[in-house]
Structure 1
């Protein structure tokens, strides 16, 4: 038996869904406008940022100018207070040394009176400690 083959052509379509030209133009136009808007927004944002940064620099410079003299006055005050404290400490040390030397000479001149005084102070402290 002879075999016959039937060639059935399948419809082939090379046509792709076509986008109408006006729609493409509208999309391109919208994209272009969006790009322009983004560029304008970026430029405005950049200008605003520059103004804010410039204002911050000015404020910091003004604060530094006013803080400088105040810091100097504070340093001068601290230095003067330190010198005064050092002088007072030296005076107190010298007064203490004089008092101790005076007490030593009194004990050497009147040893029995010093012993009696020490005993009385000891008794007084022991009663207060109870």
Structure 2
């Protein structure tokens, strides 16, 4: 009786393993594909960031006084926000 139960358990495990193998491989391939897509998107985002930085640098070089004025106003707004949040 124990031998039959053990034999059936081994058969069941073998069947499950045979079915799980392809599923695990498919999951591994999907993960690899998603990883590649994520890396490609990160590369595109990095390139976009570089374009924005280059654009900002160009703007500052072409309009230095306007850039200083915008930076000063932004600094005052940020200072006002932080000073009012500390008083609460």
* TM-score normalised over the length of structure 1: 0.62
Residue aligning to 1:89: 42
Is residue 2:74 matched to residue 1:114?
A: no
**Match of 1:73?**
26
Higher RCO (CA-CA < 8 Å; seq separation 6+) = 2
| Offset, 1:52 | 1.0
Q: Gapped runs of 5+ residues in structure 1? A: 1-47
Query: What stretches of structure 2 of length at least 5 have no aligned partner?
Result: 84-88
Q: Which structure has the greater CA radius of gyration?
A: 1
Q: Which has the higher helix share?
A: 2
- Secondary structure class of the residue paired with 2:34: helix
SS at match of 1:73: helix
Three-state SS of the structure 2 residue aligned to 1:102 is helix
Secondary structure at 1:122 match in 2: helix
Q: What does 1:1-130 correspond to in 2, within 5 Å?
A: 48-130=1-83
Give runs of ≥4 in structure 1 deviating > 3 Å.
none
- Give me the TM-score of the superposition, normalised by structure 2: 0.91
